[in-house]
Amino acid sequence: MSASIYLTLPLLVILLVLQVTVLPYIELLGVAPQLLFLVPVVWGLFYGLQQGLIWAFIAGILIDLFSAGPLGATSLAFMAAVSAAVYAKRLIPQEHFLIPAALGAIASLVFWLVYILLLRILVPFMIDSLDFLSIAGLTNTPGAQGLIGQVARNYGLSGSMGNLVLRSTVLHSLLMIPIYWVVTTLDRLLRPKSVEI
């Protein structure tokens, strides 16, 4: 397990660099793949909920460090997604190569629902606290409050948001299959072989 941890932390950092620099140019189905989301989900499915939550937290923080969103929102959403995937796996005991895809879809949907909900709640407070934003100086006026309300309402399951969630869910469920296979192979290579005494 410790060897796997030493492998995963640099892996997350490498994936973060790819996420910020390369992946925005490689959009599949019109959306950039979130590899930093898929890795904790797969990790949780392999090593259990607790391990998955730890990596979801770290990956979420790394994502939020390079996003304009509130710090911690992605971590919370990732952790909810990992929990959903791990619990769903317990309900689907049989092994099939499409199971990871289904779990990926569940995790992706839960992530987006939680993330959008968090943004809707947190963004008005975020705008209020950022005094450099031009409207911040006017936040006590009814007009500015209305504007902030409009900003928050844009984080809802509208047409374009629903479209993004759908495309992202399909993409991540498809990507789960090769990533699950890679992690399975790595796990087989790195896990210490059991010896009967």
Partner 1 sequence: MTLAVLVGATILLLVLDTTGSLDGVFNFFEDPISGVMGWTTVRTEALVDTITGPDDIQDARAQIVSLQSQVDALQRENEQLREIEGEFRLLQDLFNRARESPEFQRLTASIIGYDTSPLFRSIILDKGANDGVHVGMPVESARGLVGQVYRTSGHSAMVILITDNISSIPARLGTSRATGIVRGGGLGGAMTMDWIDLESQIDVGEVVLTSGLGGRFPEDMVIGRIIEVERYEADLFQRATVQPAVDFDSLEMVFVITDFRDIDTSIFDSIPDDLSSGQ
Question: Interface residues with partner 1 (CB under 8 A)?
Answer: 16, 19-21, 24, 31-32, 34, 36, 63-64, 66-69, 74, 115-116, 119, 123, 126-127, 130, 132-135, 137, 143, 147, 150-151, 154-155, 158-161, 163-164, 168
Spatial distance between the Cα atoms of 188 and 146, rounded to a whole number of angstroms? 56
For partner 1, the closer of residues 8 and 34 by Cβ is 34
Shortest spacing between CB 131 and partner 1, in angstroms: 8
Shortest spacing between CB 105 and partner 1, in angstroms: 17
What letter would DSSP give residue 31?
A: B
Shortest spacing between CB 65 and partner 1, in angstroms: 8
Would you list the DSSP string of 48-87? -HHHHHHHHHHHHHHHHHTSSSPTTHHHHHHHHHHHHHHH
For partner 1, the closer of residues 54 and 119 by Cβ is 119
Q: Provide CB contacts within 8 A for 33, sequence distance 6+.
A: 23, 26, 171, 172, 175
Report which secondary-structure segment, H or E, holds 90.
Answer: helix 73-91
Shortest spacing between CB 6 and partner 1, in angstroms: 24
